[in-house]
Amino acid sequence: MQVYLDNAATTKMSRAAIEAMLPYFDGTYGNPSSLHSAGQRAKEALESARASVARCLGAQPSEIYFTSGGSEADNQAILTAAALGEKKGKKHVVTTAFEHHAVLHTLKKLESRGFEVTYLPVGSLGNVTPEAVADAIREDTCLVTVMTANNEIGSILPIAEIGAVCRERKVLFHTDAVQAVGHIPMNVTEMRIDMLSLSAHKFHGPKGVGVLFARKGILPISLIEGGAQERGRRAGTENVAGVAGLAAALKEATEGLPVNMPRLTALRDRLIAGLSSIPHSALNGDPVRRLPGNVSFCFEGIEGESLLLLLDEYGVEGSSGSACTSGSLDPSHVLLAIGRPHEIAHGSLRLTLSDETTEQEIDYTVDVVRSVVERLRAMSPVWRDKLEGKRPYLL
Ligand SMILES: *Cc1c(COP(=O)(O)O)cnc(C)c1O
C-alpha cells in the first residue's frame, strides 16, 4: 500500500486546480501587461482570480498581492512593517519561538539591522496567549507576527484574540497562515489581521505561487524591482496559470471545509489513538486546538531519519518535522521550543493527512509504525540500556 502522509510539506494538485490552469498555457497565453486582446484576456483571468481569493478570505481584491509563495509573502510582510516602523523610530518586533524559518530568518536579518525581537515562549502544547502578546508589546513595537497554525505540530493559535489586542494597541499584525488557509476557516476582517501569507501548494494548488494580503492603507514594499505589476509592489510578469490554479484550489478548499474538517479530524484522532498505544510515545502539540490533518509524535529511543526510511520501504511517506529542516542534523526548533529534550526531539514523526486519506490507510500506517518502531528499538544499544535500567525513560 502506498500512503502519502506528508501533506504539510506539499499536496497533490486537485483536478479543479489543474483544469483552471490549462487554458493559460496555450489558448490564453498573453502577457497581462499587453494592451491587445490576448493580453487583456490574461489580465481578466488575473483579476477574477484576485476577486475570488479576496472573497475566500473576507478581503478586498485590492488587498491581494500575488507572490511566488509563502516564503516570499512572509519576507515581504515583515520587511514592510519594518520599513514603516523604522520611519517612526519603532524597531521592536514580537513573534513566537516556533515560527517558520521564512519568518525567523527574516527577523534575524532585522536584528542585524538593529531591530530587537521578542520571541514568546510557546509552552508544552505550542501556544501563546493574547495576554502574553499584550504584555510583550512596547511603545516601539512596529509588528506582531504570529503564525495561525504550526507546520510541524499543528497547534492552532488564538489569532482573532491576538488580532484584537494588536488593533487596540495600534500595532501591525501579520500572520503566517500557510498551514491554515484552506484547512480551517479564515477571515481577515473578523480576525483583525493586517497582513497574511498563504501558499497554494499547501491546499492542492500549484507550487511557486502564493498571496500576501495587506489591509487597505498598508503598501507592501517591493522585494523585486522592475515593472509595475501588482500595482508596483511586485515586479515581474505574473504567473497567470499559477494564480488561476491558486484561486480555484482555494475556492474548492474553502467550500469543502464543512465536510472535510470533521472527516479529517476523525481520521486524525484515529491515527493519534493508534500511535498512542505504542509504549514510550507522545503526541506533540495541542490535542484539541489542532489542525484537522496534523499528527506529530515523538518515539523514545528512535532516530527520526531511520524511522522515515523504513516507513518509506513499507510505502508510508511521512516527515520527521518540516521539509525545510530535514537535511540538517539539528533537532527541530519547534520541538525544542515545546520543551522536548534533544534526544526525544530526534525521534519525531509528522504524518499529515489530506481529503483523500482513508481509514484503511490510517490503520495500515499504525501497524507499520508500530512494527518499525519495535524493530529499531530492538537494534538500539540506547534502548537496551533503558530496558536494563541503566538509563532513564524520558517519555
Ligand atoms: C510551507 C510553509 C511556508 C513556505 O511556503 P512556500 O510557498 O513553500 O514558500 C511558510 N510558512 C509555513 C508555516 C509553511 O508551512
Query: What is the residue whose three cell numbers read 512494527?
Result: 371
**Residue located via cell numbers 488580532:** 163
pLDDT of 198: 98
* Surface-to-core class of residue 29, CB atoms within 10 Å of its CB (0-12 exposed, 13-18 middle, 19+ buried): middle
Phi, psi of 121 (to 5 degrees): -70, 150
| Antiparallel, parallel or unpaired: β 3-4 and 92-96 | unpaired
Instruction: Return the sign of the alpha-carbon dihedral for residues 42, 179, 334, 349.
Output: negative
Ligand 1 centroid – CA 201 distance (Å): 9
CA–CA dist 175, 250 (Å, integer): 18
387: cell is: 530496558
Mean pLDDT in each 10-residue stretch from start to end of the chain (395 residues)? 97 98 95 96 97 98 98 98 98 98 98 98 97 98 98 98 98 98 98 98 98 98 95 96 98 98 98 97 97 97 93 96 56 94 93 98 98 96 94 93
Which of 202, 204, 319 should be mutated for ligand 1, with most atoms under 8 A from CB?
A: 202
Residue 258 C-alpha to ligand 1 middle, in angstroms?
24
Please give the backbone phi and psi of residue 192, each rounded to the nearest 5 degrees, phi first. 55, 45
C-alpha cell at 185: 476557516
- A 10 A CB-CB count for 307 gives 23
* Best mutation site among 95, 145, 179 for ligand 1 pocket (most ligand atoms within 8 Å of CB): 179
Show which residues are catalytic. 324
- For ligand 1, atom 3, the nearest C-alpha belongs to 70
Residue among 151, 174, 332 to mutate when testing ligand 1 (max atoms within 8 A of CB): 151
Tell me, what's the pLDDT at 324?
47
Instruction: For residue 178, report the distance from its CA to the centre of ligand 1, in Å.
Output: 6
Contacting residues for 372 by C-beta, under 8 A, at least 6 apart? 307, 310, 311, 314
Q: How far is CA 87 from CA 84, 138, 140, 215, 350, in A?
A: 6, 17, 11, 19, 42
In ligand 1, the atom with minimum distance to the C-alpha of 201 is: 7
Length reported for the chain: 395
* The pairing of beta strand 116-120 with beta strand 64-67: unpaired
- C-alpha 323 – ligand 1 centre gap (Å): 10
Atom of ligand 1 nearest to the CA of 9: 1
Element (H, E) at 57: helix 37-57
> Atom 6, ligand 1: which residue's CA is nearest?
70
How far does residue 70's CA lie from ligand 1's centre (Å)? 5
Cα dihedral 145, 101, 66, 220 sign: positive
Domains of the chain: 3-9+257-387 (3.90.1150.10), 15-255 (3.40.640.10)
**Helix extents (H) in 94-210:** 101-112, 130-136, 159-169
Residue 205 CA to ligand 1 center (angstroms) comes to 13
99 CA → ligand 1 middle, Å = 10
pTM (predicted TM-score): 0.96
The answer to whether residues 204 and 14 touch, using CB atoms and an 8 Å cutoff, is: yes
Please report the atom of ligand 1 found closest to the CA of residue 322: 15
**Substitution candidate for ligand 1 out of 6, 100, 103, 201 with most atoms within 8 A of CB:** 100
Nearest ligand 1 atom to the CA of 73 is 9
CA 116 to chain centre: 24
Q: Residue 162: name the closest of 198, 138, 194, 115 by CA.
A: 194
Residue pointed to by grid coordinates 482570480? 49
Whether the CA torsion 102, 107, 108, 112 is positive or negative: it is positive
C-alpha to C-alpha distance for 277 and 286, rounded to whole angstroms: 18
Q: How far, in Å, CA of 2 to CA of 55, rounded?
A: 36
Measured distance CA(271)–CA(290) in Å, rounded: 14
Contacts made by residues 377-384, CB under 8 angstroms, sequence distance 24+: 377/301, 377/302, 380/301, 380/302, 382/301, 383/301
d(CA 227, CA 384): 64
Atom of ligand 1 nearest to the CA of 209: 7
pLDDT of residue 28: 94
Q: What is the DSSP track for 155-178?
A: BBP-HHHHHHHHHHHT-EEEEE-T
> 209 C-alpha vs ligand 1 centroid, how far in Å?
11
Contact 222, 232 (CB under 8 A): yes
Task: With beta carbons less than 8 A apart as the criterion, state whether 173 and 134 touch.
Answer: no
- The three-state secondary structure class of 195 is strand
Ligand 1 is surrounded, with C-beta below 6 A, by 69-71, 74, 100, 102, 147, 151, 176, 178-179, 199, 202, 210
Task: Report the nearest-CA residue for atom 14 of ligand 1.
Answer: 178
Q: Are 176 and 186 in contact (CB under 8 A)?
A: no
